[in-house]
Copies of this chain bind each other. A is one copy, B any other.
Amino acid sequence: GKKVLIVYAHQEPKSLNGSLKRVAVEELSKQGCSVTVSDLYAMQFEPRATRNDIVGCLHNSEEFNYGMETWEAYKRGGLSDDLIEEQKKVQEADLLIFQFPLYWFSMPAIMKGWMDRVLVQGFAHEFPNCYDSGLLKNKLALFSFTTGGSKEMYAKGGISGDIRYLLWPMQHGIMHFCGVKVLAPHICFAPEYVSEEKREEMLIAWSQRLKTLWKEEPINCSPEWYFK
């Protein structure tokens, strides 16, 4: 069975994001996958990149450089326990699903903090091992999120621009940089402004997609996909 890590960022289990997460756990478990969830708010996950992420002495205590210190700490096994725990989950996973409400054209800070702190140099990338040769190659990622704005606002020529524009930093800048292949995003537009029935359909559509997910081809994660 495949291994899936769902990194989930919503405060409310009864939200649509909560339901989408639950649906994914159910459907993927039914397929025989082993599913782990990092429920970031429930874990009170720390988003701030600080000296606390390094156990013991610093490599250079004169001038704190987060990227350098976490790289050194990773190599000597000196990262904080919460990071080691998350890295273990990533290492074991075949597929990473990020489930969140879009906040300001991006992920909520608590999830950005997960990216900033977990995907350290040495673990996820190590120059020149980035992009297609990133250290997390052979894994898949999928961004599944809800929006406040409507599909029309996020259309090409719409006031908020093509939704793909805002996927560039997340899909290319983070996942592709680490070598992870990216499946097409799963987007539920403006669930707060539709009927309960429509929201139910959104859950069914997600469940349906997951049934054949392992047959999907990754997107071609290059500027053409985003900006053409």
Q: A-side interface residues toward B, CB under 8 Å? A: 11-12, 14-15, 41, 44, 47-51, 62-67, 103-106, 108-110, 112-113, 115-117, 119, 131, 148, 159-162, 165-166, 168-170, 172-174, 177, 192, 223, 226-227
- Chain B residues lying within 8 Å of A103, measured Cβ to Cβ, are 49, 112, 115-116
Q: Complex Cα distance A26/B108, Å?
A: 33
A-B contacts, 19 listed (Cβ < 8 Å): A11-B66, A12-B64, A12-B65, A15-B65, A47-B110, A47-B113, A49-B108, A49-B110, A65-B192, A67-B148, A104-B119, A105-B168, A105-B174, A106-B112, A109-B115, A109-B116, A131-B159, A165-B227, A169-B169
A73 to chain B, nearest CB (A): 14
Instruction: Check B109–A104 contact: CB distance below 8 A.
Output: no
Instruction: Check A169–B166 contact: CB distance below 8 A.
Output: yes
Instruction: Check A169–B104 contact: CB distance below 8 A.
Output: yes
Instruction: Check B109–A49 contact: CB distance below 8 A.
Output: yes
- Chain B residues lying within 8 Å of A173, measured Cβ to Cβ, are 104-106, 160, 166
Instruction: Check B51–A48 contact: CB distance below 8 A.
Output: no
Q: Complex Cα distance A96/B14, Å?
A: 37
A152 to chain B, nearest CB (A): 14
Specify the chain B residue showing the minimal Cβ separation from A159: B131
Option from B63, B109, B162 in Cβ contact (under 8 Å) with A15: B63
A121 to chain B, nearest CB (A): 9
Beyond A11-B49, A47-B47, A116-B103, is A165–B168 a contact (Cβ under 8 Å)?
A: yes
